[in-house]
Chains A and B, each alone.
Chain A
Amino acid sequence: MALKGKLATALLSDPGLVRGNNEDAVAEDADIGLLVLADGMGGYNAGEIASGIAVTTVIDTVRRQWPTLRHGSVDAASGYSVEALTLKTAIETAHTTIHQVSQTQPQCAGMGTTIVVAVLHDDRIAIAYVGDSRLYRLRHGRLEQITRDHSLLEEMIARGHYSREDAERIVRKNIVTRALGVEPEVQVDLIEDTVEVDDLLLLCSDGLCDMVSDETIGLTLKRYAANLETAAQRLVQLANDAGGKDNVSVVLARADASFARGRRWYERLMEWF
């Protein structure tokens, strides 16, 4: 109950208007402040299996490890908090499971999934992700995309082959460079950041951000910030109004009060001065 009354959340997943099935999966653990969203891919219902395994495994793994963590400590070698590293371990565990199933079950061959996971703790957020599912933050009325997709488009920009403008004109959006379960190895990216009271976090699948502009997402979150259920429904509706070509999923979380563990974390972790 650590975050009871301090964190409001809403989750919504919709198949959209074109696809017969929903390969997205969303889940949360409100006590821990854990939010998970996965967007599966693969033939028949393999995509659903992949995203389902991913979400379940991550929630289970984090739940199991959470009470044993030395909360507030940072791994010296990597520079990441133990909370962030737990998310990484959980995603890697999910990856191994999905990969094994896809290798042994012919109907699951080649299945995979993206994932974005966030955990809120001690007025901070740890984010771990693979693929093109995103995390945005609305702070003081301004929307910022915190994650950078593991996609062909971003990779081309990062390696300096194309400017963002050129790449967005030229490169298809639906090609990801990393996914859980597909290759033997997976590389998980971690981001850690601060949380301010009233921050609104959005985890979403590409079914939202491919169909709805960041500007519209930002305006919608701003307008419905007080009612996350409505905000989630509006976002899904906007994606469907634009054609609903893909499954669309959103996980929303709003920090309603400081959830610092004892003293504010930065008072304990101050590096200088």
Chain B
Amino acid sequence: MGKLIVTDGNGQVRDFALTKERVSIGRHPDNDIALNDKAVSGRHAVVITILKDSFLEDLNSTNGTLVNGRSIAKHPLTHGDEITIGRNKLKYESEAGGGDDFERTMVLKPTQFDAAFEPEVQAATASTPPPSAVKPLLGKLRVVGGANAGKELELSKALTTIGKPGVQVAAITRRADGYYIVHVGGETGTKRALVNGAEISTHARKLNPGDTIELLGTQMNFVTL
């Protein structure tokens, strides 16, 4: 556990141990480190601590946050860093030790992550299910123009194939971070579908909302819900 040694504009010094995942700094009295200084924004910065590492983030403050004299938006703190916020200096001292532990894989509990990054869910109990990084989104293909205009295909499967075997086939796969399209049928041979006018390859290409897919002369838009 690291700590911040806070020296305010009047030379008053206090230590603040970084025991919480998220320590707020600002002029407003409800901050963990409240700095009574007009040059400090109400919610100025935050120090996020995950296991032994601490990160400083400026919260778009009016006058900015300096580390060792340089303005930062996000900064991984290292031992001895001097933070300047308004007329206040905050010196970061890291926890001593480390050694072999440093290389070992560690598991971060979901609750620790949420406490660090989502202050609004800090009240959540340990019984909350593990959060998924990204909400699984549902994609659709919508036909544009022609007799089938408006027809939709929900991409609800992990692997969806469209086309005509032996003529033109594409597969759309769903991953945690979105949908990918890939040509099926080998490097040579059958014609390839187009995405935004460019031929797809046998390597996955990520689909973005609004992308136009052309397959067997039919134009489709990729949309997400």
B-contacting residues of A (Cβ < 8 Å)? 18, 39, 41, 74, 78-81, 84, 112, 114, 124, 132, 139-140, 142, 144, 146, 148, 150, 152, 154-156, 158-159, 161-162, 166, 169-172, 174-179, 182-183, 185-187, 189-194, 196-197, 206, 245-246, 264, 266-267, 269-273
* Distance between B144 CB and nearest chain A CB, rounded to angstroms: 14
Contact across chains for A196 and B202 when beta carbons are under 8 A apart: yes
Contacts of A112 in B (CB 8 A): 107
Report the count of interface residues on B (CB-CB < 8 A). Answer: 51
Contact across chains for B159 and A193 when beta carbons are under 8 A apart: yes
Name the contact of A124 in the complex, choosing from B109, B117, B159, B216 (C-beta under 8 A).
B159
* Distance between A221 CB and nearest chain B CB, rounded to angstroms: 15
- Given A266-B169, A270-B165, answer yes or no on A194-B159 (Cβ-Cβ < 8 Å): yes
Contact across chains for A271 and B162 when beta carbons are under 8 A apart: yes
Contact across chains for B104 and A41 when beta carbons are under 8 A apart: yes
Contact across chains for A172 and B53 when beta carbons are under 8 A apart: yes
* Distance between B121 CB and nearest chain A CB, rounded to angstroms: 12
Contact across chains for B134 and A266 when beta carbons are under 8 A apart: no
Beta-carbon nearest neighbor of B175 in chain A: A191
Contact across chains for B130 and A183 when beta carbons are under 8 A apart: yes
Contact across chains for B158 and A174 when beta carbons are under 8 A apart: no
B156 within 8 A of A: yes
Contacts of A39 in B (CB 8 A): 105
Among B6-14, B18-26, B86-94, B182-190, the one that faces the other chain is B182-190
14 contacts between A and B (CB under 8 A): A81-B158, A140-B203, A142-B203, A170-B76, A171-B53, A175-B51, A175-B105, A177-B107, A187-B129, A187-B132, A192-B173, A266-B161, A266-B184, A273-B163
B147 within 8 A of A: no
- Given A81-B158, A266-B165, A270-B163, answer yes or no on A182-B76 (Cβ-Cβ < 8 Å): no
Beta-carbon nearest neighbor of A193 in chain B: B173
Name the contact of A271 in the complex, choosing from B110, B160, B187, B203 (C-beta under 8 A).
B160
B16 within 8 A of A: no
Name the contact of A192 in the complex, choosing from B74, B107, B110, B158 (C-beta under 8 A).
B158
Interchain CA distance A185-B134 in the complex, whole Å:
18
B43 within 8 A of A: no
Interchain CA distance A260-B176 in the complex, whole Å:
26
Contacts of B53 in A (CB 8 A): 171-172
Name the contact of B107 in the complex, choosing from A41, A79, A245 (C-beta under 8 A).
A41
Contact across chains for A273 and B162 when beta carbons are under 8 A apart: yes
Contact across chains for B173 and A191 when beta carbons are under 8 A apart: yes
Which of B109, B158, B165 counts the most chain A CB atoms within 10 A? B158
Beta-carbon nearest neighbor of B143 in chain A: A272
* Distance between A30 CB and nearest chain B CB, rounded to angstroms: 24
* Distance between B122 CB and nearest chain A CB, rounded to angstroms: 16
Q: Which of B33-81 contact A (CB under 8 A)?
A: 50-51, 53, 55, 74-76
